[in-house]
Amino acid sequence: MSTTATGERPITAAEFERIAYQHGRSELIDGRIVTMSPTGFVHGEVEGYVYALLLAFVRRTGSGRVATGEVGCKLPNGRVRAPDVLFVRAERVAAEGPPAGFLPGAPDLAVEVLSPEDGPGEVKDKANEWIAAGTDRVWAVDPSARTVTVYRHAVAPEVLGESDTLEGGAVLPGFVCRVAEIFG
């Protein structure tokens, strides 16, 4: 991860949204563009499995919208973060449909697939940032440990192994899958 100079002054989320396409895979952190390296194959594969499971559920239930590809989310703290996969409840996008640009606010569910260079503190900090911004829950998927850590507001993180069941809780009522399904 590296910081890209944007001039002498920090930029806003609105300015970043207009120029983000010039910077590839990136986020806006404290007014500075932070570029991220491309993901590896396993990361992309796991991201795809999570997306496919959520998409099948959402299409069956009409419960909302799911997206992948690091969709930018304009958070109340002025940052633009981009989860690997996100879910937004139907009532949040029903009237106007999904936005063409960045999502205003945090998603209802954010999924972060860990890369080999991600440290546990970094992932925990990002999950806590999502929760503070209004995300109901965060799934931190670790392909090397084959676990999913579920973060929720005011609840200790829960680590699930391959033989455990991952549930959508209040944000995705009725969604259930074995953690092993996420890893192919």
Single out the residue of 143, 138, 127, 149 nearest to residue 171, CA to CA.
Answer: 138
Structural element, H or E, at residue 49: helix 41-61
Please tell me the total number of residues recorded for the chain in this structure: 184
C-alpha span between 78 and 100 (Å, rounded): 19
Domains in the chain (CATH in brackets) are 39-183 (3.90.1570.10)
| Burial class for 31, CB neighbours closer than 10 Å (0-12, 13-18, 19+) | middle
pLDDT of the chain along its 184 residues, tens only? 444 444 568 999 999 988 888 888 888 999 999 988 888 999 999 999 999 999 999 999 999 999 998 999 999 999 999 999 999 999 988 777 788 899 999 999 999 999 888 877 888 999 999 999 999 999 999 999 999 999 999 999 999 999 999 999 999 999 999 999 999 8
Instruction: Write out the two tokens for 44.
Output: 């992309």
Structural element, H or E, at residue 122: helix 120-132
Instruction: Please write the tens of the pLDDT for every residue from 52-65.
Output: 999 999 999 999 99
pTM: 0.91
| Burial class for 60, CB neighbours closer than 10 Å (0-12, 13-18, 19+) | exposed
Instruction: Write out the two tokens for 16.
Output: 């970043």
How far does CA 30 lie from the centroid of its chain? Answer: 19
